Structure 1
Amino acid sequence: MQHQDVIMLCQQSWALPLGTNARSLAREFARANRVLYVQMPLDLHALLTGRHRPEVQQHLRVLRGQAEGLTEAEPNVWVLTPDCLALSVNRLPVGRVFGWANQLNAWWLARSIGRAARRLGFTQPVLLQDGIIFQGTELKRLLRPRHFVYYLRDYMLDVPYFRRHGPAVEQRLLREADLVAANSGYLADYARRQNPNSCDIGQGCVLDLYQADADHPEPADLAPILHPRIGYTGFLTTVRLDLPLLEQLARQRPDWQLVLVGPEDDDFRRSPLHQLPNVHFLGNKQPGQLPAYVQHLDACINPQLNNATTAGNYPLKIDEYLAMGKPVVATHTRTMDLFADHVLLADHADQWPALLEAALAGEVPQRAAAGIAFARSHTWAASAGRLYAALAALPEPAPELAPATAFALTPARLA
């Protein structure tokens, strides 16, 4: 796919300080295409409860005409802050009222996107939606893109926010998409139940910071901790992580130091781990600080729960650990099969001590080198290439469904 226009409807703000899949894909698309990155409109609940937050204030300036909603963020990438509000529909009951309110939200959003697309001279774009966004159920009809791609990168239906309307909305998105692009084989199989045009495009990684041959000074809060150090970096949440397993490991092997780097949810903050002398919570760190922590660990872990949420989740941290040449032990999930040649996988809790013993027994240079090479093969260029190939294999739209060429969005068309 080259010299085309791409509209991306994204859950996360372009300015989010953490790395995001959508932003990385947008940058890869922009190497050969023009990209309009659409952020979520401001909804009434956020306006009422967070009026003084900087991002809400920025949305309000756009709504008042005091700031430009369409800005060029990088070469070939424009970011749109929609000049519309959205009704807070998630608490509405399932049924017609939700449907009508969601259609109204979609109409407002499509009108804002259409104005931006006309200003940029976009014609016959590909529309890619990043995950479950309620308005997206209407945008294929309203914007008439050349192709509509649903980007599926997490199983979100277990997340409390999506439990009411998420199942019906996602089922509709899966069925309406011309192509479902998933970032794991598990999620691609899940999508194929509703849409045969589903494919695994893999997961891209940005590993510039994770260089095994770099010399990182030992962080001051890590230095006093004895060896062996077994560590995890990332959000500490019981939605994904096996808290009883961590407690069991720490109690079974008091000579092992368990180092946990990242913010905690309420369950972790209240857990008995905080009373164990060989468990060390080092708190949240900036992305640029994390490679130093990984480099000075003896082994890295990903103690996931094995459930519907995690089975298809692609763990970026595994690539980061491998890129630093570290031995890794992880819970065996369907997605972790991809890493089976480079990571020690535990099918149940009783296997963890022996696998960690093996990981700590000594770094094997050949294995470390193979892991580094494997992690570095997971590029955004490779993921985008698979997506381009899948799009090229799609049939052209029927004449009656031909894409709009000038985004002449009118109330009649959007009704």
Structure 2
Amino acid sequence: MTDIICFPDATWDAPLWTNRQHMMLRLARTGAFRILYVNPPALGAVRALVRGKGSNGLLEQPEAQLWVLHLPLPAPNRIVRNRLPQVYDALTLLGTRIAARRLGFERPMIWSYSPFVANYLHDLAGEFVIYDCVDRYPQLPFYAARGAQVRQLDAQMTQQADVVLCTSRLLYEEKQAHNPRCYLVGNAADVELFGQARSGTLPVPAELQGIPKPIIGFHGALDNHRIDYDLLRTIARTRPDWSLVLIGPQTPTPDLEWLTHEPNVRLIGKKALHELPPYVAQYDVAMLPYRLTDYVRGLSPLKIYEYLAAGKPVVAVPVPHITAFDVVRIAPTPAAFIAQIEAALTDTDAAAIARRVEVAAQHSWEAKLRRVLELVPELHGAAVGAL
């Protein structure tokens, strides 16, 4: 049995699951690993303490061999992290040590998605360190005020880790020169779940009943540092006969407010992952309407694989990692985006759908886990016989 302490930059119960939760869940389910998932310290964790989550207070066990550590903060996360970073790190380190000792973790592996772990990496006394890079952290907008520090910590984690995993080609190109054990592992999706959208038997969700076809769909976070609202507004106004359906948690902004005034735009709101297939089944075309910022250029959006698993034609802006996919229509301008949607609406033959599903199958979470285990012998040895 191998113990892993995971330092993500997203809570276990985040509304949109990504690599952090999916990979740790599947590692635990192999039966070869015990996982301690350290939620970022948060004011909300105080409520968990009051409720007495699980049998260990701030330790919750949502899955066999997987524990989530809730670390309470006396003030909102961003205030403490930005103004009192030493306090933030000390609380994280102390809470992690106590939880690891309670669970009997000795010389665990450290699996970090956060560059900030560099501040206390040596104090963790980990047996082996994996730095899993899923974002260009220094380019994240909410780290803008601390860009120089984040770049330094990101570089430290890259150099000090035993292995660096990268989800996008751009991340890999940036980091491979700084660590000889740097691997491009890509992103993934719950292919089986989104494959349900191809069944033809899912009921039409109430929010989509009566919405005119065709439906051009998107699901994901609606925020200004990713979404190109100008592009969406242009599509809506140029093709009033199309319905734009946007599903996901919303960050209130003037851009989003202006978009709601377009009569053919529907904002559905946040949905849990398992609720999405009936909505995706109604898409005629799936889209990735992102702004091509320095941050976005480093992404490998997992929703692309979800769309493909559902068999849907996909139109996307030219995010570098996905431009090589022959099953994704790339559009660098609003005019091209509209033209590619028009073409995609006719791309419904069985062979095209089968090809999209085939590509998605190569990017399931199970396929990614196998790939990581093959690349990292230190993990593979622990998992022999479990897969």
What TM-score comes out, normalization by structure 1 length? 0.79
Report the counterpart of residue 294 of structure 1 in structure 2.
Answer: 280
Q: 1:82·1:112 contact (CA, 8 Å) conserved in 2?
A: yes
The residue number in structure 2 matching 1:188 is 172
Q: Could you tell me which of 344, 355, 358 is aligned with 1:370?
A: 355
Q: 1:181 to 1:356 in 2, by over 3 A?
A: same
State the 1:331 CA deviation.
Answer: 0.9
Could you tell me whether the CA contact under 8 Å between 1:182 and 1:201 is conserved in 2?
Answer: yes
- Residue 201 of structure 1 corresponds to 185
Structure 2 residue runs without a partner (length 5+):
380-387
Task: Tell me what 2:314 maps to.
Answer: 328
User: Matches of 2:305 and 2:276 in 1, distance apart?
Assistant: 13
Equivalent position SS for 1:282: strand
- 1:391–1:140 CA distance, 2 compared to 1 (3 A): farther
Q: CA separation in 1, counterparts of 2:209 and 2:51?
A: 46
- Compared with structure 1, are the counterparts of its residues 360 and 146 closer, same or farther at alpha carbon in structure 2 (3 Å cutoff)? same
Q: For 1:91, what is the secondary structure of its paired residue?
A: helix
Report the CA distance between 1:368 and its aligned residue: 0.4
Shift of 1:180: 1.5
User: Shift of residue 60 of structure 1?
Assistant: 5.8
CA apart distance, 1:238 = 2.5
**Which residue identity lines up with residue 111 of structure 2 in the other structure?**
L
Please tell me the residue identity of whatever aligns with 1:119: R
4+ residue runs over 4 A deviation? 60-63, 82-89
Counterpart for residue 235 of structure 1: 221
**Superposed, which structure 2 residues align to 1:400-411 within 5 Å?**
none
Give 2:63's aligned residue. 74
Which residue of 2 is the match for residue 16 of structure 1?
14
1:16/1:237 CA distance change after superposition, 3 Å: closer
Note if contact 1:238-1:267 (Cα within 8 Å) is conserved in structure 2: no
**Residue in 2 aligned with 1:381?**
366
Query: What's the CA shift for 1:138?
Result: 3.5
Shift of 1:393: 7.7
* Residues 221 and 40 of structure 1, relative CA distance in 2, 3 Å threshold: closer
CA apart distance, 1:356 = 1.3
C-alpha deviation, 1:270, in angstroms? 2.6
- The secondary structure found in structure 1 opposite 2:180 is coil
Pick which of 114-123 and 325-334 moved more: 114-123
- Aligned pairs for 1:136-215 (under 5 A) are 136-163=117-144, 164=146, 165-210=149-194, 211=196, 212-215=198-201
SS at match of 2:92: helix
Shift of 1:344: 1.0
**Higher alpha-carbon deviation: 243-252 or 9-18:** 9-18
Aligned partners of 1:109 and 1:250: how far apart in 2?
A: 46
Q: 1:308 to 1:214 in 2, by over 3 A?
A: same
Q: Deviations over 1:3-37 (max 9, x none)?
A: 32211122222233432322211122221222222
User: Which structure 2 residues correspond to residues 14-413 of structure 1 after superposition, within 5 A?
Assistant: 14-30=12-28, 31=30, 32-42=32-42, 46=43, 53=44, 55-59=45-49, 68-82=57-71, 89-92=80-83, 102=86, 105-132=88-115, 134=116, 136-163=117-144, 164=146, 165-210=149-194, 211=196, 212-265=198-251, 266-271=253-258, 273-338=259-324, 340-392=325-377
- Give the aligned partner of residue 384 of structure 2: none
Distance 1:255 1:160, change over 3 A: closer
Q: 1:267 is aligned with what amino acid? A: P
Assess, with a 3 A threshold, how the Cα gap between structure 1 residues 278 and 15 changes in structure 2: closer, same or farther.
Answer: closer
Query: How far apart are the structure 2 equivalents of 1:20 and 1:108?
Result: 25
Distance 2:200 2:81 in 1: 47
Match of 2:385?
Answer: none
Q: C-alpha distance in 2, partners of 1:263/1:85?
A: 26
What is the DSSP-based 3-state SS (H/G/I as helix, E as strand, rest coil) of the residue aligned with 1:15?
coil
Name the TM-score, length of structure 2 as normaliser: 0.85
1:12 and 1:220 mapped to 2: Cα distance? 31
Q: Say whether the 8 Å CA contact 1:330–1:345 is kept in structure 2.
A: yes
Distance in 2 (alpha carbons) for counterparts of 1:190 and 1:23: 25
Number of positions where the alignment pairs a residue of Structure 1 with one of Structure 2? 368
Aligned AA (2:36): L
> Shift of the alpha carbon at 1:329?
0.9
Contact 1:310 1:333 in 2 (8 A): yes
AA aligned to 2:13 is A
Corresponding letter in the other structure for 1:270: E
- Alignment deviations for residues 55-105 of structure 1 (CA, whole Å, 9 cap, x no partner): 332246779xx952334332222223348879955434xxxxx7xx52x65
Partner Cα separation in structure 2 for residue 62 and residue 352 of structure 1: 50
More helix by share: 2
Conserved in 1, the CA contact under 8 Å of 2:228 and 2:291?
yes
Offset, 1:247: 1.7
